[in-house]
Amino acid sequence: MPCSLPRRLVLLLCLLSGPALCAPSATAGDPAAVDPAAVDPVEKVVRAFLEQRAASLNGTVQVTVAPATATLPPCPAPEAFLPGHGQPLAGRVTVGVRCQDAGASVRYRRARVSVTGDYWVTARPLDAGTVIDADMLARRRGDLATLPDQAVLRRDQLLGRETRRPLAAGVVPQSHQVRRPPLIERRQPVTLVAGGEGFRITREGRALDNAGLGGQIRVRLPDRRVVTARVTGPGEARVSY
């Protein structure tokens, strides 16, 4: 129905022609006219990408993708990636999206990832050099995105570790605050093992560092040479050639 007709004439025509003529029609500006299935494909890819990555955090994941800040052309076959190195998987994140268009364009979308799950805090104050056992930890539940970037979230990654510094009660231990207890200490005699298929060679030396299982250590040999080895047990380290 043309919009320029007088309102009374429009009503009269509606009465004469029946309700079909006067039924409201969807227009481009009407939200009801938007197909619910026509979701921004870039947003879908970003959300699925973050949900998959955050699943490793063992919690309930909720992803909110911010709308695009500008009107952009379609992005064929969008592929999401995390730009930079060490970007956290929870909290506010920026996701890159590669488009398979002629110019192989890249665009970026901002999002927030909330992960509600369990984490562990110190149940009491711990002195430096304390080996952590189960009674020293208490379970908490909350948004993991609010925790420090280096927070150790799993209990099995804390049990048996030694504190590098004093920790107050109720704090979340971080990776740089704990370590494996040293199996070799500085100035301790060390047996160096080198070998391959069909042979094994051992030499004695003296440790120049402290290190736990799997850690690297410098060892001074009797001829004053210094070699680097990896700790494989109490008083023993392996040299790789």
Q: CA nearest 162: which of 211, 224, 231?
A: 211
Q: CA nearest 140: which of 178, 172, 173, 174?
A: 172
Its CATH architecture, for the domain 118-179, is Alpha-Beta Complex (3.90)
In the chain, DSSP assigns E strands to 59-65, 79-81, 91-98, 106-122, 137-143, 162-163, 178-179, 189-196, 199-207, 216-220, 226-233, 236-238
Q: Are 136 and 126 in contact (CB under 8 A)?
A: yes
Q: CA nearest 99: which of 83, 75, 123?
A: 75
What value does the mean pLDDT take over residues 196-207?
Answer: 86
- Phi and psi at 161, nearest 5°, equal -80, 155
Is the pLDDT at 22 greater than 60, yes or no? no
Q: 28: pLDDT confidence band, cut at 50, 70 and 90?
A: very low
**What is the reported pLDDT for 115?**
86
Is the pLDDT at 63 greater than 50, yes or no? yes
Q: CA nearest 1: which of 27, 26, 30, 22?
A: 22
Domain with CATH 2.30.30.760 in the chain: 189-238
Domain 189-238 has CATH 1.50.10.10: no
Classify burial at 147, counting beta carbons within 10 Å of its beta carbon; exposed 0-12, middle 13-18, buried 19 or more.
buried
- pLDDT tens, residue by residue, 107-141: 999 999 988 989 999 999 999 999 999 999 999 99
Q: 152: pLDDT confidence band, cut at 50, 70 and 90?
A: very high
